Amino acid sequence: MRRLSQLAGIPVTQLTGVGPKKAHGLAALGIHTVADLLMHYPRRYLDRTNQARIADLAIGDEGMVLGTVRRVQSRRTRNRRSLVEVDVGDGSAYLRCTFFNQSWRASQLKAGTNAVFFGKLEQFQGRRRMTNPVVDLVGDRTGRIVPVYPQSEKAGLTTWELGGWVEEALGRAGTFLDPVPDDVRRRYGLVDRTAAMRGIHLPESAGDHREARARLVFDELLRIQLVLVRRKRRLEASAVGVAHRFDGDLVGRFHQRLAFPLTAAQARAIAEIDGDLASPVPMHRLLQGDVGSGKTLVAVSALLVAVQGGHQGAFMAPTEVLAEQHHLGIRRLLDGLTLAAEGDNLFGERPVRVELLTSRTSASERARIGTALAGGDVDVVVGTHALIQEGLAFRSLGVAVIDEQHRFGVEQRAALRGKGTAVPDVLVMTATPIPRTAAMTVYGDLDVSVLDELPPGRTPVTTHWARTELEEAQAWAGVRAEVAAGHQAYVVCPLIEESDKLEVRSAEETFRHLGEGELAGLRLGLLHGRIAPKDKELAMDAFRAGDLDVLVATTVIEVGVDVANATVMVVLDADRFGLAQLHQLRGRVGRGRAPSWCWLLAAGEEASPDAEARLGALERTTDGFELAEIDLGLRGEGTLMGAQQKGRSDLRLASLRRDEVWVGRTRDVAFCLVDGLGGLGAHPVLVEEVALLLGADEDDAPDDRTAFLFKS
Ligand code: ADP
Ligand code: MG
């Protein structure tokens, strides 16, 4: 019985015909050991009995054809790009494959070569054509179903060679030890690992392949869930939290004073959070909700539970602008709310004390706030994520809220983990709706509450993608009309990721242009990352007060800015922005009762298919969850898992969309195994595989940024 870890100790050079040169080629594919090789799964299968013929493929279809190269031609296009044209025939018809900027194709695809071409069939000047298809050299391999491996043409490996080595490795490996308990396998009808390994590489039928894939997907997702669930349980076991008391009336009075009733979603989230807060197990909860769903109120409610019981709260925002915004917002929410005062206070009551601490806070203020926090004279401190690094001492920090918006930093969360004395309850907020399965994967070590409902009285934002100059002119006319009606507007400047400096310059230019041109005569303000803090504040204040008609800004307004009178937004070069980001930006309008508009400017004929899909989706819907699904489909989970490097490297077959049900099932299994008799220790082979494929759990490493939270 073979373990994967044993195969991970055998270098590929032990296989027949793998000399230094081939080993080098394999290394380029990330294959060093026999285990790597066996986990290099076929990218598709060539079913010789069920082969699409060129003549059968319809224009616009994606498909795969096996054919023989008849003629190859290399030339340069007018704008100096290399172009290789390959004519392929399969007896039924001809197909022309064109490759841009892949001049090496000319030597790869010589006349007479058999290859599989996978791509979308187009019609061009009366001919069948594929542009930049994926090519797999199949050689003269026989067999009914032939696996086609992702390969490195430049490294000089063919799918044929890879297949041969895999076959040899499978033969020599024999039977695999299966780390998943029998009863779990039975429950979900999963084949054993030996069958899975054979079935993915050498399927004899589509059924074989399907079963094999299901099993390997299960393994991939289970490993990730084991890491997350173990992390969650360890944290709960290793730390003692605060069991908050609910006998005060501060939170109740806060809710009563609100000018509106809570949405059902808010009430549910608050109840879930209160449940966590009442328990001595430290809370680690994610609050997910679309822009404008009212997360702040839920967060403040949690902070007040801490304050009510004599503890303190911290609220951390990703940027200083946001910290300032939140500070204002929270003060406004708490305005007039009082608390029984200790000591000899004449009135027996005092206001809830909220302070702001950012890098702009002066040294003397900082010292004063520091002392006040240590002495318990501040109830809630608002700051940036840098609060974590500050080395501040609290008298008793009870609840920490981390507003991370769409930044998936695991670091801040890690920084709040600790050992020893009472650990604060942590609420992480994100404004990016994440599909449920993705949340379970990216944030699987947290509990999740969802605000899936917007407060009533919002009018959905009407979104137009302005593709032509005429439509662009309509956008500016729209801005003028709204301003004339007493409303306000945002103009979002082009995003320039490469350089902050260029972005600022372009924002300044946009500001000037608009002031002299399209928006001449209106009162414009400018806001970007390099404007002096004081001026930034002035601009924001002026806009809030209605002394500015239009705020021309970079993405600094992406989050947190809350001006209900702003009813129109124009985004320049909208195709440069990501879908989630545009959705965030758009959330700045439509916050009041008046109808709102969002104009996305991007020349129609220049838009890439991807940009077209993004902008089109925004025109169609304002539902953040739907957009998140679309985004996931467009970008793939790779990007989503960006922060979770380890997880990404192990998602080879599994797709969070396609394999949604398996995400939930593996999570259940992970809980069963971690919480079962003997814990994960009873499954040493699984533990070994998790360590092998996902690396050692970094949780065990001490993290000195935790210091400030535990100084109390
Ligand atoms: P988020 O942070 O989720 O984007 P906010 O907390 O900033 O949303 O709330 C958006 C706006 O909705 C704020 O102006 C807030 O006062 C208002 N709001 C929050 N909850 C409710 C509610 N239940 N009913 C009406 N308005 C609400
Ligand atoms: Mg908010």
In this prediction, residues 33-60 reach a mean pLDDT of: 84
Going from N- to C-terminal start, the domains of the chain cover 1-43+149-177, 52-148, 250-279+293-430, 461-621
Give me the pLDDT at residue 277, please.
96
Instruction: Please list, in sequence order, all residues whose beta carbon lies within 8 angstroms of the beta carbon of residue 320, skipping any fewer than 6 positions away.
Output: 358, 359, 360, 384, 533
Residue 712 vs residue 296, higher pLDDT: 296
Cα–Cα distance for residue pair 468/477, rounded to 1 Å: 14
Cα–Cα distance for residue pair 353/159, rounded to 1 Å: 67
- Give the tens place of pLDDT for each residue, 304-339: 999 999 999 999 987 777 788 889 889 989 999 998
Residue 418's SS3 state is: coil
Look at residue 508 and tell me whether its pLDDT is greater than 80. yes
User: How far is ligand 2, taken at its centre, from the CA of residue 692, in Å?
Assistant: 41
- Give the tens place of pLDDT for each residue, 675-694: 998 899 999 999 999 888 88
Residues with CB under 6 Å of ligand 1 are: 260, 262-263, 266, 289, 291-297, 431, 455, 562
Ligand 1, atom 9, residue with closest C-alpha: 294
Look at residue 133 and tell me whether its pLDDT is greater than 60. yes
Is residue 152 very low, low, confident or very high in pLDDT (cuts 50, 70, 90)? low
CA of 260, closest atom in ligand 1: 24
- Is beta strand 447-451 parallel, antiparallel or unpaired with respect to 284-289? parallel
Give me the pLDDT at residue 153, please.
64
In this prediction, residues 268-276 reach a mean pLDDT of: 96
| Stated pTM of the model | 0.69
Which of 425-434, 598-607, 702-711 reaches the highest mean pLDDT? Answer: 598-607
Residue 301 vs residue 643, higher pLDDT: 301
- Token pair listed for 220: 């991939």
Which of 295, 297, 591 for a ligand 1 pocket mutation test, highest count of atoms within 8 Å of Cβ? 297
In this prediction, residues 577-600 reach a mean pLDDT of: 89
Look at residue 47 and tell me whether its pLDDT is greater than 80. no
How many alpha carbons lie under 13 Å from residue 40 in its C-beta half-sphere? 27
Look at residue 236 and tell me whether its pLDDT is greater than 90. no
- Give the tens place of pLDDT for each residue, 695-705: 755 544 333 22
In this prediction, residues 285-312 reach a mean pLDDT of: 92
Give me the pLDDT at residue 344, please.
59
CB 552 within 8 Å of CB 526:
yes
- Give the tens place of pLDDT for each residue, 333-347: 999 999 887 765 666
Ligand 1, atom 10, residue with closest C-alpha: 292
DSSP 389: T
Which of 562, 563, 593 for a ligand 1 pocket mutation test, highest count of atoms within 8 Å of Cβ? 562
Residue 144 vs residue 506, higher pLDDT: 506
Give me the pLDDT at residue 165, please.
94
Ligand 1, atom 23, residue with closest C-alpha: 262
Could you tell me the CA-to-CA distances from 189 to 26, 175, 184, 193, 224 in Å, in that order? 34, 19, 8, 13, 21
Give me the pLDDT at residue 390, please.
66
Q: Provide the angle, in degrees to the nearest 10, between the axes of the packed helices 624-640 and 609-620.
A: 150
Instruction: Please list, in sequence order, all residues whose beta carbon lies within 8 angstroms of the beta carbon of residue 358, skipping any fewer than 6 positions away.
Output: 320, 323, 324, 383, 384, 386
In this prediction, residues 396-406 reach a mean pLDDT of: 81
CB 539 within 8 Å of CB 548:
yes
In this prediction, residues 111-138 reach a mean pLDDT of: 86
Mean pLDDT rounded to a whole number for the chain:
85
pLDDT over 70 percentage in the chain: 88
Give me the pLDDT at residue 46, please.
76
Which numeric CATH code is attached to 1-43+149-177? Answer: 1.10.150
* Residue whose token pair is 């070069």: 573
Cα–Cα distance for residue pair 582/563, rounded to 1 Å: 18
Instruction: Please list, in sequence order, all residues whose beta carbon lies within 8 angstroms of the beta carbon of residue 651, skipping any fewer than 6 positions away.
Output: 220, 224, 637, 638, 641
Question: Per CATH, is 461-621 categorized as 3.40.50.300?
Answer: yes
Amino acid code (one letter) for 579: L
3.30.365.10, 3.20.20.210, 3.40.50.10140, 3.40.50.300: CATH of 250-279+293-430: 3.40.50.300
pLDDT over 90 percentage in the chain: 46
Cα–Cα distance for residue pair 367/11, rounded to 1 Å: 59
Look at residue 465 and tell me whether its pLDDT is greater than 90. yes
- Write out the E strands in 214-344: 284-289, 312-317, 338-340
Q: Which of 98-112, 144-158, 526-540 has the lowest mean pLDDT?
A: 144-158
**CA of 432, nearest ligand number:** 1
- Give the tens place of pLDDT for each residue, 529-543: 788 877 887 888 899
Show the CA angle centred on residue 11, arms to residues 8 and 14, nearest 5°. Answer: 130
Residue 260's SS3 state is: coil
Is residue 427 very low, low, confident or very high in pLDDT (cuts 50, 70, 90)? very high
Give me the pLDDT at residue 51, please.
65
Look at residue 18 and tell me whether its pLDDT is greater than 50. yes
Give me the pLDDT at residue 655, please.
80
User: How far is ligand 1, taken at its centre, from the CA of residue 494, in Å?
Assistant: 28
User: How far is ligand 2, taken at its centre, from the CA of residue 300, in Å?
Assistant: 11
Cα–Cα distance for residue pair 469/7, rounded to 1 Å: 61
Task: Report the candidate in 223, 167, 160, 164 with the shortest Cα–Cα distance to residue 198.
Answer: 167
Give me the pLDDT at residue 299, please.
97
Look at residue 640 and tell me whether its pLDDT is greater than 60. no
Give me the pLDDT at residue 480, please.
97
Task: Report the candidate in 317, 391, 389 with the shortest Cα–Cα distance to residue 356.
Answer: 317
Look at residue 23 and tell me whether its pLDDT is greater than 80. yes
Cα–Cα distance for residue pair 56/306, rounded to 1 Å: 68
Residue 281 vs residue 556, higher pLDDT: 281
Give me the pLDDT at residue 179, please.
95
**CA of 457, nearest ligand number:** 1
Which numeric CATH code is attached to 52-148? Answer: 2.40.50.140
Residue 136 vs residue 582, higher pLDDT: 582
* Same fold: 52-148 with 461-621: no
User: How far is ligand 1, taken at its centre, from the CA of residue 479, in Å?
Assistant: 25
DSSP 343: S
CA of 564, closest atom in ligand 1: 14
Question: Residue 486's CB: how many other CB atoms inside 10 A?
Answer: 11
Give me the pLDDT at residue 295, please.
93
Question: Residue 260's CB: how many other CB atoms inside 10 A?
Answer: 10
Show the CA angle centred on residue 61, arms to residues 59 and 63, nearest 5°. Answer: 120
Which of 254, 296, 335, 585 for a ligand 1 pocket mutation test, highest count of atoms within 8 Å of Cβ? 296
